[in-house]
Amino acid sequence: MQTSELLNSYSVDPATWDEMYTDPERTGGSSSVERTLDLVRGQYRPVVDFMQQMSIEELNKKEELAKRLFMSQGITFTVYSSGEGIEKIFPFDIIPRIITATEWKYIEDGIKQRLKALNLFLKDVYNNQFILKDGIVPVEMVYSCPHYLREMHGFHVPHDLYVHIAGIDLIRDHDGTFYILEDNLRTPSGVSYMLENREITKRIFPDLLPSNNVRSVTDYPNILHRNLVSLSPRQTSNPTVVVLTPGIYNSAYFEHTTLARLMGVELVEGRDLVVDNHRVFMKTTAGLQQVDVIYRRVDDEFLDPLVFNPDSMLGVAGIMSAYRKGNVAIVNAIGNGVADDKAIYTYVPAMIRYYLNEEPILKNVPTYQLGHPDEREHVFANMQKMVIKRTNESGGYGMLMGHSASDEEISKYKMEILKDPRQFIAQPIISLSSAPCYMNGKLKPRRVDLRPYALCGPEGIQIVPGGLTRVALREGSLVVNSSQGGGSKDTWVLAG
């Protein structure tokens, strides 16, 4: 029973919501196993019980097996150093993150509501602009956003759908309340990890999934494929759907190939496509074949060298004209960046009220616009309690965490801000909930977030019950991004 020891050593920060343990105050002085198990939340109890029956050697073996499976399947990213590629795996923690049916229902409703409003906002902002005329969102906020593309103006996308695939980042504050951290409406990545992490769990913990009533995530590629097919502008029973990748050197290449494989569609690069007479074709061994729907994983900026970045080697010349003529569907729509901009984010609750006449279900993290002098002053006075982000960056780049930055770093960053305040926002540091991780034979609480993936088609919005739980593996760290030392966990959503 070494593992009960492993459980007893689990000490949670009292100011943090822990996904597994209830009120940590009560653990004080207790050492018996029963007492400890009592404090484990119901949804985690079967897993903790299961782990207690295993020795540390067995658990280590499971961890080793998980690593080997990732490596052998090539679920890796390549780090190029001294002219040679080294294969690395994204760290995976073997203990699942578990979400109850009630929690999930709440998340699901909240995300659906939010996406409905965001999609309406995109349609509005690229057409009639009622929301700007009514003064709900300031005009300058939209026009100063680099991702607002005038090329999309006055163009009706099929089914008025702009956001087909969304990855919405959620975090939990100290009392367990869910907050929306970020909306990712352009090319959200990570869904292959949702799928692969689950496959790994099946291998390392046989029978644990069915006995816990965990809902399946395997339907994701099928739903996505069905949605993509339904967008085809050509009336044909078997439209050509492709996934467009920047190529094998892209860090998400594994994901692109996984999605293409699971949907049974072609994975293409820009150089495989050619535009002729406003139609997109792919170059095959039997000549040109028309393409109807493109799920692109190439950013707007690189999509068409004739319209956007002229140096792009990843795109297809003329694709934008084919898109505007309605001869090809592009997923997600071009120009979505204006809706997931970190400064526009502040206005999403207002959008929900404006378009849907509903109260937002999921809350925003309070956000200060540094373009706004009063708010900037407030932020500058409280830098230690703030996290400051650039509005158009993602992946954890260009951030300043006020509580851990030196005075020098802070004053340098302030100078940066003053150069162009519109490009920055600040949020009070939210502590993020913690979840148990298996580390060197012990359970340790580490901070997590949650990214569920929503698929929007002509039939409505579907969210596969699961998602990607990212975890900050460094002790005390609040940054979960993989580029900043983050890992991931399998995410379980329990059925009723």
Partner 1 sequence: MLSRVADSLYWMSRYMERADGILRMLKINYASSQDDIQEFSWMPVLRIFTYMDEEGAVRISHNTRAVLQYMVTDRENSNSVLNIITRARENARSVQDHITKELWQCLNDFYHIVRDEKLDRELHKEDPVTILDVLIKQGMLYYGTLDVTMARGEGFAFLNIGKYLERGVQSADILDVKFSDVNYDFRRTDTIYWKYLLLSISGYELYLKTYRSGFDARNVVEQIVLNDEFPRSILYSVDRVHRYFERLRSERNKEAFQKIDFMIGRILSKVRYSTVESIMAQGLHAYLNGIKEDLYEVGNALNQNYFAYT
Residue ranges in contact with partner 1 by CB under 8 A: 71-74, 84, 87, 247-248, 253, 257-258, 260-261, 265-269, 271-272, 282-287
Contact 453, 220 (CB under 8 A): yes
CB of 87 to partner 1, least distance (A): 8
For partner 1, the closer CB: 247 or 395: 247
For partner 1, the closer CB: 99 or 328: 328
CB of 273 to partner 1, least distance (A): 10
Sheet containing 368-369, strands listed edge to edge, beginning at the edge strand earlier in sequence: 368-369, 424-428, 386-390, 400-401
For partner 1, the closer CB: 72 or 440: 72
CB of 264 to partner 1, least distance (A): 8
Provide CB contacts within 8 A for 357, sequence distance 6+. Answer: none
For partner 1, the closer CB: 259 or 348: 259
d(CA 271, CA 248): 13
Residue labelled with tokens 């969210």: 463
CB of 71 to partner 1, least distance (A): 7
CB of 230 to partner 1, least distance (A): 22
CB of 235 to partner 1, least distance (A): 23
For partner 1, the closer CB: 253 or 345: 253
Report the DSSP pairing between strands 453-457 and 460-463: antiparallel
Element at 428 (helix H, strand E): strand 424-428
Residue spans of beta strands (DSSP E) within 161-286: 165-172, 178-184, 241-245, 266-269, 273-276, 279-284
Which spans in 87-149 are helix H? 101-125, 130-133, 139-143
For partner 1, the closer CB: 29 or 287: 287
Report the DSSP pairing between strands 363-364 and 460-463: unpaired
CB of 313 to partner 1, least distance (A): 11
Here the tokens at position 394 are 């993602």
Provide CB contacts within 8 A for 293, sequence distance 6+. Answer: 228, 229, 231, 232, 239, 240, 241, 242, 328, 329, 331
For partner 1, the closer CB: 246 or 337: 246
